[in-house]
Structure 1
Amino acid sequence: MSRNTPREWSYWTENKLQILSEYLPAFNVAAKKSHERIYIDLMAGRAQNISRSTGEEIAGSPRRALETSPGFTRNIFCELPQNADQLEADLRARFPRATFEVVPGDCNDTIGVTLSRYKSLSKAPTFAFIDQQAAEVHWTTLQKLAEFKSYGTKAKQWILMSPVMIARGTRGTNNAMVRKRVTQLYGTDDWLRIQRAKERRLITPKEYRAEMVNLIRYRLAEHLGYSYTHRIPMLMPNRTEIYDMVFATDHHAGDNIMRHLYKKAAQREPGMMEQAVLRAKEERIEKSGQEGLFELEPSEPKVSGEILWQPESHWDPSTRPWW
């Protein structure tokens, strides 16, 4: 794919970004007494993105951060060199007066120097968005973010975790490299205990996904000292978790805000899922040359008003009998 080709996103990504759009202004309102507020996007992505379901343009996380009102006083966007220049040019054109920097390179290599440039602002409320695909971020990077604040609560972190992608990678030809990266993500090889339990069929695939997400939550809480962690699964049409969003915070206000938004996202998801399925059916009909013979209409949501997400505590993985 050319670097100029817009990236296609599925409805679960749109739902995730909607949560981000709703959380960022709430974060800044809660932090309104602070003169400085820092947003860090470790994997900021391409400048151009479109919806796979509708073909419409979707604003990525950097644009959403810069569009936030009230806004952040500092915005840091990390991205690989092949995309960084185009991302910066796009953002400069859209937000000529905004205060931000695009940091080219692997965020695991650049985060230390980047944070050191903002050392004088280490008391500022800080939010970090870690939108990885599988296991690109290192535990040492999460640790540096947690230790950045010299006063008050730690930097809030919102991390994409995809056991599905990890499981797929461990079966591939680059098996050894993937396993090394996953160990770097967790900062321990304890995840291999979960992997072996799955391979020996001691746990189901669903249990594997839950255990892999729990392990990062456990380490964020017990090793980095975060008071609250949450997960929300992003579901495919077959109800399989394509990935989870894990939130870590020290502050009760951030916890309450994200709880509310997670519940809204869970209620929103079935309708988005149905629209995506409907669009896929329309495309199949168009390709078959039978458009006009069928008229597809979305059904009424069957879950309106239902609470589909409830917070669950993390657990000590070593208590599992297969551990």
Structure 2
Amino acid sequence: VMPESLPLFPEGLPAAVRQSILVSPATKWNGAQVPFSTQSKSELVADYIRRFQQVTRGGLYVDGFAAPQRRNAPEAWSARRVLEVEPKRIRGFWLFDIDPGGIEMLRELKSLHHRSPISRKVRVFEGDFNKEVFHFLQAKELRRDTAVFALLDQRATECHWRTVELLARRRGRRTKIEIMYFCPTAWVHRMIKTRTKASSIEALDLWWGNSSWEALANLTQIETVRVLVNRFKSELGYKHVVPYPIPLRLNRRRISYHLIHASDHDEAPRLMAAAFNDRVNAQQHAGQISLAL
């Protein structure tokens, strides 16, 4: 439960965003229900990319955990949604995943979008993104004047902090690589308190970057998110860092993820706030529920 005395959003976030919380109706695909959080994340990512590319006039996109989280729900698949964004201005895609089944789906997706249009290239890499990220960082297309967007939609704690650091340090002429980092807010404290095996503790060390994750057990969800926001600012040097809540269900008290949006581009906060608000407004227009904070 999140205490009322602690605001969900940091200071400076537009009031219109604070007034609503992003919820997405559960949809069905091949008879299976798609969770609110999965649907909401993919919609928000694609809508933001649509806006992002209008400002940058193109760019590159890297997805470190790109296979669909729900294999029977391709409509809620972020990689697919982003590749289908119109107009098709993002010219380079690097899609990573460690799961063989997911890689097969990514290769099928590539077959539909590679060289369509002719200037677009889609690359698929099988393996741990934390180890394979150099395929992207060393790419010749990654020029100093190229806008780059990175999606780190980990299922739990798969994304090492070192990997986030590597992306953040790859600075262009004017801005860093823009990052959308999903923190599994609903599960972090449980994982911290229940993991006792040496391998599990090592995994948390890699995720957080050191052993100080133990202190998170004494924090609320909001405080944990604030720590992450501060790390993106102080350790990684991002100018704009804003968290957005993604609820598990139509219940404002249970947040499944927080999207940490980190960018140096001065237009980025406005674009993300607009994308977030548009998702809320679209759901309201369709007769869905939006809960006031």
Question: Common fold, TM-score beyond 0.5?
Answer: yes
The Cα shift of 1:173 comes to: 5.7
* TM-score normalised by structure 1 residue count: 0.70
User: RCO greater where, 1 or 2, for CA within 8 Å and sep 6 or more?
Assistant: 2
Q: 1:212 aligns with which of 207, 210, 224?
A: 224
AA matched with 2:276: Y
Q: Could you say which residue in structure 2 is the equivalent of 1:317?
A: none
AA matched with 2:90: F
Q: Which moved more, 1:17-26 or 1:258-267?
A: 258-267
AA matched with 1:19: L
AA matched with 1:261: A
The Cα shift of 1:255 comes to: 1.3
Q: Distance in 1 between matches of 2:101 and 2:52?
A: 28
SS at match of 1:24: helix
SS at match of 2:262: strand
Q: Distance in 1 between matches of 2:185 and 2:40?
A: 19
Q: CA offsets, 1:36-64, max 9 Å, x none?
A: 5100001001497445xxxxx51512212
**Equivalences for residues 74-93 of structure 1 within 5 A:** 74-93=92-111
Q: Which moved more, 1:62-71 or 1:211-220?
A: 62-71
Q: Distance in 2 between matches of 1:145 and 1:258?
A: 20
AA matched with 1:145: L
SS at match of 1:58: helix
Residue 275 (structure 2) pairs with residue 253 (structure 1):
no
Q: 1:25 aligns with which of 50, 53, 57?
A: 50
* TM-score normalised by structure 2 residue count: 0.77
Residue 258 (structure 2) pairs with residue 244 (structure 1):
yes
How many residue pairs end up in the alignment? Answer: 257
Structure 1 contact 157–249 (Cα < 8 Å) conserved:
yes
**Equivalences for residues 47-62 of structure 1 within 5 A:** 49-50=71-72, 57-62=74-79
The Cα shift of 1:271 comes to: 8.9
Residue 112 (structure 2) pairs with residue 94 (structure 1):
yes
Q: Which runs of 5+ in 2 are unaligned?
A: 1-29
Q: Distance in 2 between matches of 1:7 and 1:144?
A: 37
SS at match of 2:133: helix
Q: Which runs of 5+ in 1 are unaligned?
A: 52-56, 199-207, 273-299, 310-323
Q: 1:264 aligns with which of 278, 284, 289?
A: 278
Q: Could you say which residue in structure 2 is the equivalent of 1:64?
A: 81
Question: Structure 2 vs 1, CA of residues 168 and 118 (structure 1 numbering), >3 Å: closer, same or farther?
Answer: farther
The Cα shift of 1:136 comes to: 0.6
SS at match of 1:160: strand
Question: Structure 2 vs 1, CA of residues 223 and 173 (structure 1 numbering), >3 Å: closer, same or farther?
Answer: closer
Structure 1 contact 12–269 (Cα < 8 Å) conserved:
no
Q: Distance in 2 between matches of 1:267 and 1:190?
A: 39
Q: Distance in 2 between matches of 1:211 and 1:169?
A: 17
Q: CA RMSD in A?
A: 2.9
The Cα shift of 1:269 comes to: 6.5
Q: Could you say which residue in structure 2 is the equivalent of 1:315?
A: none
Q: Which moved more, 1:215-224 or 1:114-123?
A: 114-123
Structure 1 contact 169–175 (Cα < 8 Å) conserved:
no
Question: Structure 1 vs Structure 2: percent identity of aligned residues?
Answer: 20
Structure 2 contact 110–124 (Cα < 8 Å) conserved:
no
Structure 1 contact 220–226 (Cα < 8 Å) conserved:
yes
The Cα shift of 1:73 comes to: 0.9
Residue 192 (structure 2) pairs with residue 170 (structure 1):
yes
Structure 1 contact 131–159 (Cα < 8 Å) conserved:
yes
The Cα shift of 1:183 comes to: 2.7
Q: CA offsets, 1:116-161, max 9 Å, x none?
A: 1236524200000011012110111111111223311111100110
Q: Distance in 2 between matches of 1:19 and 1:145?
A: 21
AA matched with 1:91: L
Q: Distance in 1 between matches of 2:284 and 2:207?
A: 31
Structure 2 contact 37–246 (Cα < 8 Å) conserved:
yes
The Cα shift of 1:19 comes to: 0.9
The Cα shift of 1:88 comes to: 3.5
The Cα shift of 1:6 comes to: 10
Q: Distance in 1 between matches of 2:215 and 2:72?
A: 38
Question: Structure 2 vs 1, CA of residues 301 and 132 (structure 1 numbering), >3 Å: closer, same or farther?
Answer: closer
